[in-house]
Structure 1
Amino acid sequence: MEKADWYLKMIQWREKRIGQRQFVLILSVVIGFATSVAANLLKGFIHFIQNFVTESASRFELNYWYLIFPSVGILLASLFVRYIVKDDISHGVTRILYAISQRKSILKLHNTWSSLVGSSVTIGFGGSVGAEAPIVLTGSAIASNLGKFFKLDQKTLMLLIGCGAAGAIGGIFKAPIAGLVFTLEVLMLDMTMASVVPILLTSVTATTFTYIFAGSAFMFNFTNYEPFMVERIPQFVILGIVCGLVSLYFTRGMMKAEGFFKKIKKPVWKLLAAGSLLSLLIFVFPPLYGEGYNTIEALINGHSEDVMNNSLFLNFGDS
């Protein structure tokens, strides 16, 4: 009873002493810090697991462990979700949109950590997925539960969810504007000063703390010495069209793959089918291992031969 009284008094004190707009700005900074911590923990866990399981491999020989590691990662993640979380944590952005539209912008408490753990294991052991959706769900869940703790209304909770998503993107990429654009475009929040300022504040805060935690190094380091040329615009247009088609292919391919695996009722057979297929693909083409940022960096820096490391095509990379 005393704890409940203290909690209610704290809520009442906040409502009397701190205005709603000012309190949202304060929470924006807190969420920015929390999402930065979560983003750096996620990247740290992924790199730790990946380095731990692959450190003994030589870049000049086939790594037959690639036939095992991805399946192990899927198995561990499945056991974690099935027996510890006991809830579906897939499709982070979809769950956020569902929470906004159907659950009064409330995300479950376990989403503040379950996606972080599950994706760390999956990606660290070689799962060819990105860390962006899990960290966005984690950041949004942190913001949603923080707003729920202070008994904020549904409209404010929706804004805080946007702040959490922006902070997650800004924190993991060190790109505050990307966090703002992602939230406004993907989560489709209103583009008003009342929403843009807290979202941008969260994203900038998360980016700032990521610089403090991880240093000033960028994910991709490259310099363009050539000035922009108008005659290259058609090439950019073609590139945009190709990228759009690839995105469409990826989305529809993923949906069809999900539909196929949903027809497999027994989890054991589903695990064997998915794990075996993924492991075989990674063994044949190791750049599929994990996030894939190392491969992108190698291509940007002109080290295309590194893409063939540990693969059946190693000799082609040397030629």
Structure 2
Amino acid sequence: MSFIDSLRLRLGSVDSLLLLALVGLASGILAGASNILFRLFTESGIVLWHPKTEAGDFEGLPWELRLGMPIIGGLLVGVFLQKLSKHRRSVGVGHVLERMAFHQGYLSLKNAFVQFFVGGLSLASGMSVGREGPGVHLGAASASWLGQKLKLPNNSIRTLVGCGSAAAISASFNTPLAGVIFAMEVIMMEYTISSFIPIILASVMGAVLSRMVFGHAVAFDVPSLELTSLWEMPYFLLMGVIIGCFASLFIASTTAVTRKTFHWPVWIKCSLSGVAVGLIAIGIPQVMGIGYDSVNASLHGEYGLMLLVLCLVAKFFATVACSGMSMPGGVIGPSFFMGAMAGAIIGFIGNLFFPEHASSYPFYAMVGMATMMSAVLQAPLAALMALLELTSNPGIILPGMFSVVVANLMVSQVFKQQSIFHSLMKAKGMEFKFNPLTQFLRRVAVAGAMDRSVAVHDRNIRLLDVAQILENQPRWILIREDNVPVYLMSGNDLARFMVELESREEPMPDSLDLLKIPAERQNVSAVYLQATLEEVLDSLERDNTDAAYVFRTTAPLTEKIYGVVTRKRLESYYTYKPIKKSS
């Protein structure tokens, strides 16, 4: 067995943490680099659009450009996407979740290239989208590509997708811990040591690369603020209720637009998104682009109440138009924007009525950012970690926890909404169901569960070959017919038959037919060496078989068989058998 093959088999077993950590580190480098290139591309694109203003400063443009840029950008993106096949248009975090749910984390680089260019054009033209969604797609795709090139087991590729996603968030916001939690909570939807450590290393590398290029500053310029009084805590509860209602409205509205326009031509949808953003931007240019400059302005108390309200309402409609009509961009940045504005409005009103007990409204804006992000993504822990890392203020976590949890409860329990990603997947006809058993089986590769004590032979076998096979005491005999494995029988059954044959007072035959000797035989399915136990169970159910042989194609029309896994062995991984006590 080659060294690479042995590594692949090790990665399929439970003691592969060190190897997986090293591959995760490499995937973090790739994901961080891809996000840095994307950010440089989008910012250079903005400079090309209007060289007389700073990157992202759409407010300084004349109204003609604010109207025209999104319209032209939306049309260009739509025409480009229209020329692609349907499966090549799929981009963003939703695409990553789809590939994780239905394709074991296999992401195509072609879709990533599409995301890079159309996502960059969308941001450069001022569409109301964020750069984090495209960044997560690019990071996940680059990590998945690495796993596919190394032909790693599918459970390892799934972990690498989490690594790439963590590195992307870490590089975007300069928040390595939030990147880890985002990957576990939103992409992987589980917390396990075997995936936690590689994802941490990948997130660290994403932050390191980002700081080497863009410096140590986090995404937002956050002032140092403190909670004024514990009497504000009920008010933060009210903030959670209000933002939870607003987030539910945002999710429902975006989903409704997606469902309504799902069968429309892509170029029409993207063009309409551009028209909507352009018309809104004539009066409220803050809605254009990722809007981090506007978020920073609210964090420093530079906006009045009327402007805060206008920005919130305008961003809501602009983002619903873009996300609902499949504009290739993210919703995390717009969620931060809307949360900051909503929180600032709530803080502003609180200061008017209770000035002696209320903190300044920028404090509420910071909590509002995390609350809205958490409610829209249904990721409370990731939002809190982002809040902590962005502010470097442990004192903000207490009110943040209160507001975040209440908002999540409002969305999930009161309004019965899923996260924005799962809601949009459902609107597009992809029903995502969380199954704990499926999640568990996806963590284990068949290479770590298969029985490698197997001999492979054609149904007709010489007695001399039988003796050689039994000398190695195989547990299983995989029987081939027309060079295709069709049945699995126990090695003990063959040994027992040979003992009976030797005890007979009759001449020994020259050969045997393994399908005619008395033995219990099982029909077999075929599963690839990279498969997880979930894929094995799917194959057994689909083919109505009780065993599967594990193979890998080593050359054209040539297969190497590594082992077998039976339904009984598979069930032993997820069934509980109490230990019998001796009397």
TM-score (norm 1): 0.83
| CA distance 1:270–1:193, shift in 2 (3 Å) | closer
**Are 1:156 and 2:156 counterparts?**
yes
Structure 2: 5+ residue stretches without partners: 311-583
**1:50 aligned to which of 46, 67, 75:** 46
Quote how far apart the aligned CAs of 1:276 are: 2.0
Aligned residues: 300
* TM-aligned CA distance change 1:239 to 1:89, over 3 Å: farther
Pick closer, same or farther for the CA change 1:241–1:38 going to 2, 3 Å. farther
Q: CA deviation at 1:272?
A: 4.5
Q: Shift of residue 85 of structure 1?
A: 7.2
- In 2, Cα distance between equivalents of 1:180 and 1:157: 17
Distance of 2:10 and 2:276 partners within structure 1: 59
The 1-side partners of 2:270 and 2:205 are apart by 40
Superposed CA offset, 1:195-238 (max 9, x none): 11111111111111111111112222233243564332222222
Higher strand share: 2
Q: Does the CA contact (< 8 Å) of 2:100 and 2:158 recur in 1?
A: yes
SS at match of 1:216: coil
Choose the corresponding residue for 1:40, options 36, 49, 72: 36
Deviates more, 1:46-55 or 1:58-67: 58-67
Counterpart for residue 24 of structure 1: 20
C-alpha separation between the residues in 1 aligned to 2:88 and 2:244? 29
Partner of 1:77: 77
Report the residue type matching 2:49 in the other structure.
V
For the Cα contact (< 8 Å) 1:143–1:164, is it kept in 2? yes
Which letter maps to 1:26? L
Q: Secondary structure at the match of 2:98?
A: helix
Q: 2:195 is matched by which residue type in structure 1?
A: S
Report deviation, 1:61: 7.4
Identity within the alignment, %: 25
TM-score normalized by structure 2?
A: 0.47
Higher radius of gyration, 1 or 2 = 2
Give the drift of 1:84.
5.8
Question: Does structure 2 conserve the Cα–Cα contact (< 8 Å) formed by 1:176 and 1:204?
Answer: yes
Partner of 2:103: 103
User: Bigger shift: 29-38 or 181-190?
Assistant: 181-190
Query: Which amino acid in structure 2 is aligned with residue 276 of structure 1?
Result: V
Q: Is the 8 A contact 1:111 1:138 kept in 2?
A: no
SS of 1:187's partner is: helix
The runs of at least 4 aligned residues of structure 1 exceeding 6 Å deviation read: 16-19
Q: Deviations over 1:25-47 (max 9, x none)?
A: 11211121122112222222222
Q: How does 1:1-319 map to 2 (within 5 A)?
A: 11-12=4-5, 14-15=7-8, 20-56=16-52, 62-83=62-83, 87-90=87-90, 92-226=92-226, 229-262=229-262, 264=264, 266=265, 269-304=268-303
Superimposed CA distance per residue, residues 262-287 of structure 1 (whole angstroms, 9 cap, x where no aligned partner): 354x5554454333222111222101
Contact 2:78 2:267 in 1 (8 A): no
Query: 1:160, CA displacement in angstroms?
Result: 0.9
Alignment check: 8 A CA contact 1:46 1:123 kept: yes
Any gaps of 5 or more consecutive residues in structure 1?
Answer: 1-7, 312-319
State the Cα distance separating 1:10 from its structure 2 match.
Answer: 7.0
Q: Relative contact order (alpha carbons < 8 A, sep ≥ 6): 1 or 2 greater?
A: 1
Task: For 2:178 and 2:160, locate their aligned partners in 1 and report how far apart those are by CA, in whole Å.
Answer: 17
Richer in helix (by share): 1
